Structure 1
Amino acid sequence: MNVYIRADASVRIGTGHVMRCLSLADELRERGAKVAFLCRELEGNLISYIRERGYPARTIGELPSADSWLVDAKRTLELLDEAASEGAPADWLVVDHYSLDRRYELIVGTRARRIMVVDDLANRPHRCDLLLDQNYYEAPRARYVGLVPDDCSLLLGPRYALLRPEFAEARSRVRRAGAVRRALVSFGGTDPGGVTLTALRALAPLAAEGLGLTVVAGKLNRDAEAIELACREVPNARFIRHADRMAELMAEADLAIGAGGATTWERCCLGLPSLIVTIADNQRELTEQAEAAGAVRCLGTAESVDERVLREAVLQLMDRPSELSRMSENAMKLTDGRGAKIVAKEMLGW
């Protein structure tokens, strides 16, 4: 089976779309599928990283500001035609992109036997056979009424979250005691609002009193050097650049301070209590719903949260072990980390 994945990463977009698609790609490849990516060469793209992971990555090229979806669709057709001429026609095209919708899918569907859309927003129509929305909502199906064909299969909720297998593996070893000895600070691949530095300054006094800090700067974090220098001045703080072993870091931490988005489900899988600062508009509703489920606590947006708010929130949870334990239990109920396996199996069953 030949699977092509249309997803981008950039300083503006972030890395989450590509990273979760890589988790799905790994599961598909494990089951014998051949997977390739179709990406734009945007500033901060992950094309080299995709290739390092062993996947071909074909480039979309530059797009105009007007009708970019149409040019994107035509370029996608060209790439899929090239692949077909090489003996690898598209059995599935996976589209994980907020800027693409039904118009794009109708065009590229002439070259792909099946289309799967990965979405979080439920804000535009799609023409697809399968739709995945891995986020938690009380009435998830209602969000897509009128946005997908009647015969579209829906995979909805964090049960289907596309996580790497190490999260499910680490889950069985996690033991949460309700105490906070180490905090993990991680604001995704880019952290455009510079919240990592704010969090580090907020927690420095607590680190001086013995709290361990693990501070992760993502692959595209422009403040990485400043963060590393700041960590050297903070007792009990260690700095890590682009952690490939995030499951291990989350398992050893007792509290996370970070962004919303797909990493929410990584933390939930491991029952890691989390204080979330949203760094993009599309993270707000997701985070609010996870908070309503008792799995996280939302502190606000990157623009509204300061050092005092962060420090007081951490101190409050440190004094409330029972609340930490409840948050951990609620989080672990949402996902067991096997979503990528389930989705890959679903795709192979068509």
Structure 2
Amino acid sequence: MGLRCDASPATGVGHLARCLALADELGTRAVTVTLLGRIDGAPWLVRAVADRGLDVVPAPDDPVELASLCADLGLDGLVLDGYTLDPGSGRAARDAGLTVLALRDGPFGAAQSADIHLEQNLGATPVETLTTGELSLAGVEFALLRDDVLRHRRDLAAPSEPYSPPSPPKVLAFFGGTDAAGAAPTVASLVLATALPLELTVVAATPEIADELTALELPAHQRLVVIAPTPEIAALAAGADLVVTASGSSVGELLAIGSPTAVLTVADNQLVGYTTLVEHGVVAPLGSLDALRHDADAATTQLRELLSSPEARLGLARRGRALVDGRGRERVADALLAAIEARPAP
């Protein structure tokens, strides 16, 4: 099985992260997986790939050359995850006899030809323009979650005694493995502006962002911890009282874990998912990064109220966890392997 995806400051790391989730599932079924693409500027993901024992093969941009590479590697299936991939990649691979699964997010990636179309976002609807034999998997029930996410799912059953959170509350802020928009300093300032006692851990994707964060002034009753991107983000999220992040693929992971989450948008392709999350009441909405850089008063007030209310945070966590059962990757793997098995022999 080939997984065609890239990770870089330009494309982010979400495509590779969810492909690794599918690799985790396929590995349990003795399916050999090869990553086709590039990993730039994300050393922790390089380690995550190496820890899984996955081969990484540079992939050509040309669709026909990509299909030829898949044939040379003896692959029978190809997963395409990336909005900048040539939209002819799926058709070339299918013409070469491979079964293709293509991921999309609303209109992003929708031009790709595929046997299986996957949109794992909350509220996604099936593709209406399928041709004979094609399949559409749509909705959060198909969310792809890595092993390190699933092992940190929290028990949110009603406690026998009133919940007593630690004091001060722990807040985690992260914005993907590259934080291309430079959101971390803005959001750190926003959290600190609540003026509440708290311990804030912020993932700094670059040395420049780390320098901005460490230059922030804060009172004695607040603590700021700056860390580098890490494969242990799920563990940190599970131990946090509130997570603040961008409305990308990582939100589904946080919902599955049961982490109370506040969300903002840092890119246009996040707006549809953000709106749906807010409509379902599973995240606290903070608005867009651009807007926060001009006026953060409303968001500061919302964070202050959320950090002051353990009950509100628990409600968010329970609603989110109830939506994501953690079995999405099993359903996707079932469909993909069944499609490969059903494909006519050349």
TM-score normalized with structure 2 length: 0.84
Question: What amino acid is aligned across from residue 171 of structure 1 in structure 2?
Answer: R
Paired letter, 2:186: T
Quote the offset at 1:16 in angstroms. 0.5
Checking the alignment, whether the CA contact within 8 Å between 1:215 and 1:237 is kept in structure 2 is yes
Residue 44 of structure 1 aligns with an amino acid whose one-letter code is: G
Q: Please state whether the residue corresponding to 1:108 is helix, strand or coil.
A: helix
Partners of 2:24 and 2:94 in 1: CA distance: 24
Pairing partner for 2:247 from 260, 264, 284? 260
Q: Alignment partner for residue 340 of structure 1, among 329, 343, 346? A: 329
SS at match of 2:12: coil
Cα 1:309–1:346 shift into 2, 3 Å: same
Q: Is the contact between residue 246 and residue 264 of structure 2 (CA under 8 Å) also seen in structure 1? A: yes
In 1, the alpha carbon distance for the partners of 2:318 and 2:172 equals 19
Q: Equivalent residue for 1:293?
A: 280
Shift in CA distance, 241/16, structure 1 to aligned 2, threshold 3 Å: same
1:145 has 2:143 as partner? no
Q: Is the 8 A contact 2:244 2:262 kept in 1?
A: yes
**Are 1:136 and 2:122 matched, yes or no?**
yes
Distance apart, 1:292 and its partner CA:
0.4
> What's the offset of the Cα at 1:230?
4.0
Change (3 A) 1:245 1:94: same
Residue 318 of structure 1: CA displacement? 2.7
2:61 pairs with 1:78: no
Assess, with a 3 A threshold, how the Cα gap between structure 1 residues 51 and 273 changes in structure 2: closer, same or farther.
closer
Determine the C-alpha separation between the residues in 1 that align with 2:20 and 2:193: 38
Cα distance in 1, alignment partners of residues 224 and 157 from structure 2: 22
Whether the aligned pair in 2 keeps the contact of 1:250 and 1:272 (CA below 8 Å) is yes
| Identity value in percent | 28
| Cα 1:226/1:96, change in 2 over 3 Å | same
Task: Tell whether the 8 Å contact from 1:191 to 1:279 is kept in structure 2 after alignment.
Answer: no
Q: Which residue of 1 aligns with 2:192?
A: 204
Name 2:344's counterpart in structure 1: none
Instruction: Please say if 1:248 is aligned against 2:204.
Output: no
Mapped contact 1:277–1:305 kept (Cα < 8 A): no
Provide the C-alpha distance between the structure 1 equivalents of 2:203 and 2:98, rounded to a whole number of angstroms: 40
Aligned to 1:121: 106
1:23 maps to which residue? 21
Distance 1:315 1:199, change over 3 A: same
* Shift in CA distance, 227/249, structure 1 to aligned 2, threshold 3 Å: farther
1:1-350 to 2 correspondences below 5 Å: 3-40=1-38, 44=41, 48-49=46-47, 52-53=50-51, 54-61=53-60, 72-83=62-73, 89-100=74-85, 103-122=88-107, 124-137=110-123, 140-141=125-126, 144-146=127-129, 148-174=130-156, 177=163, 181-204=169-192, 206=194, 209-218=196-205, 221=206, 223-227=208-212, 229-230=214-215, 235-306=222-293, 307-349=296-338, 350=341
Distance 1:225 1:73 in 2: 39
CA drift of 1:154 comes to 2.0
Query: Considering only aligned residues, what root-mean-square deviation do their CA atoms show, in Å?
Result: 2.7
Aligned partners of 2:318 and 2:268: how far apart in 1?
27
Mapped to 2, the partners of 1:167 and 1:40 lie a distance apart of 23
Indicate conservation of the 8 Å contact 1:40/1:59, yes or no. yes
Rounded Cα–Cα distance in structure 1 between residues aligned with 2:216 and 2:231: 20
1:64-106 CA distances to partner (integer Å, 9 max, x unpaired)? xxxxxxx5202202322331xxxxx221100112134663211
Contact 2:188 2:213 (8 Å CA) reproduced: no
Which blocks of at least 5 consecutive residues in structure 2 are unaligned?
A: 342-346
Q: Is the 8 A contact 1:194 1:223 kept in 2?
A: no
Specify the code of the residue in structure 1 equivalent to 2:135.
Answer: S
Distance 1:247 1:112 in 2: 38
| CA–CA separation in structure 1 for the residues paired with 2:312 and 2:18 | 30
- Do 1:170 and 1:251's aligned partners in 2 also have CA atoms closer than 8 Å? yes
Q: How many residues align?
A: 326
